[in-house]
Each structure stands twice: as structure tokens, then as C-alpha cells.
Structure 1
Amino acid sequence: MTLIRPLADADLPAVAAIYAHYVTGSVATFDETPPGLAQWRSKAATIAAAGLPFLVAEDGGEVLGYAYLGQYRPKPAYRHTLEDSVYLAPEATGRGLGRLLLGELISAAAGTEARQLVAVIADSGDPASVKLHAAFGFEEAGRLRNVGFKHGRWLDTVLLQLDLRR
């Protein structure tokens, strides 16, 4: 049975491995070098200090995915806008885990002072992330064309937005 729970320090190697898969083998993220455990530990501490969730999906003791909320941009006027990130282990896709994780993030975001939730999705040609967010009411707010170059191709990002006060 899948459990959605807060991140524990012991989960960080699995989180790092999941993300490294997307860094090295896909265009889902524009990172080109996988962050190490120290960077993940720092990110988790920053998220916790902001009072925001960092969640994992676990089944049988195995971390199959993770999700967190972060500040959309560092400037103070953006303080009421959050950005979500959701990543699943490649063998765990298509099982509804992204829906579980994103649903928990949205519930958590609604309990903050945030008014808007934003998703910045690399347009890789795979509609899964856009469909996941659309199922929760996110709407396309814009597209940034050719803003990333990775694995020999130019990539757009799609900006999706959810009004938490609706």
C-alpha cells in the first residue's frame, strides 16, 4: 500500500537517485548535473524552514516518488506564490502516485498564505505532467519558447497556474 508522508533524512539518497535519472536521461529538468546529498539536505532544510511540505510516496519501504513546494521566485513580492515539483521513479509512473503527491501538495498550499500555485513544466513532448496538473484545475498561463537547451535540443517551458483562493 502506498503511503504519502513527510520526507525523512534517510529518504534523501532515493530522492537524489530519482532526480538524477531525470537530470541525466531526460529534459524534464534543465539541470545538467545531478545535485549531491549535501545539496538535497540543504534544499530540504530550506523547504522545512519555510514551513512548506516535502513529501515522499513510499510503498513497501521503497521511495517511489517525491514532491515539494517552494517559493516561486526569491523576490519578496512573490511571497504569496508557490511552485510545485513532482518526480516519480521511472518504474513507478502510471500508477497514480503523481496524483496522490500533487493532491497533498495542493491541500498543504491551501493551508498557507499562498494565493497562487505555479508549475513550470519543460515541454518535452510528453503530456503527462500537463495532464496531471490540468486534472487539478491548473490552467496554462503562458509559454516561454526556446529557453532551455539540453541534450542537443531547444526546449520550451509551459507555465501552469492554480488560483488557491477559488
Structure 2
Amino acid sequence: MNKRIILSLLLFLSAELAAQETSDTLTVKRRVFTSTAYRQGIRQNNSMLYDLYAKSKAYDAERQMKHARVLTPAGAAVSVAGLALSINALIGVKKTTVIDNVEYSYFKRPVANALGGVALLAAGVCLMEFGSDKKEQSVDLYNKKKKHDALTTSVGLNKEGRLGLKLSF
């Protein structure tokens, strides 16, 4: 008899734990230049996130997501441009000059272009990371909205005609 009670209590607690895992919250996994959102272990692409944000009326999260969608590809483009400018400056331009009737060949490598390319590369990386931060912020704002929406109170009459307070969380 004692074993049955312990077994039924154990089954009840495990059912409660399993019920808590089916939450509607999002999680984020950060990588080097990207963030990936997951909901219940399933990867969410941008359109799925937009649909989820629209259904739950998480407008702040949607705004952050829009910023992330602009910043991340813009950062990649700026980084590629900076890399191309730096490589072009390092390759240089072949020039020749004549000194004392002797022709000399050399490469002119503009330092300003190389430094500008490195600066563009760094700015592009910062933009990509900022876009990734914005995506993470959008997920956090969505989770806060869901948590806030889950806490509701209502006052009214119950089935028996008495005044009552209902708390839902």
C-alpha cells in the first residue's frame, strides 16, 4: 500500500514537471555573428517570429526584430567593403620612377585606404553584433510580455452570485 502511494505521488509530480515544459517562451542561442531563436526546442525563422509577435501583440519586440533584420545584413556588407578596401590597399599599385637614369619599380600602398578598410571592417562587425543583440532583445521583450499577460486579475460575480476576485498566472 505504501509503495502505491509513493508511486502515484511520483507519477503526479512527474506529470506536473512535464506540464511546465510546454511553455510559450522563446530562448536564444548566440553564435559569433548571429542569434537563433528557439520555441519549445524548434528553431524559429524571422517570419515565424513576426507571426508570433503579431499574435501576442508584442509590438516592442517586433520593432527590435525589424532593426535586427536591417542591421545584420548591413553590417555584413560594410565588413565585406572594408575587407575589399584593405586588400586593395595592401596589394597596392605598381609604379616606376627614374633616378639618375636608372628605372626603379615599386608598389605604392596607401596607408589611409588600409586604415579606412580596417575601420570599415570593425564597424561592420559591430553592426552585425548589434543586430544580433537587437534580436536577443526582441526575444526578451516577447518573454516579458507573455509573462505580464499571464498575470491577470478580474473582479466580478461568481456562479453563486457572490463577489469574487480571480487571479490567473
Q: Same fold (TM over 0.5)?
A: no
More helix by share: 2
* TM range, smaller chain: under 0.3
After TM superposition, the score normalised by the length of structure 2 is: 0.19
Indicate the structure (1 or 2) with the bigger Cα radius of gyration: 2
More strand by share: 1
After TM superposition, the score normalised by the length of structure 1 is: 0.19
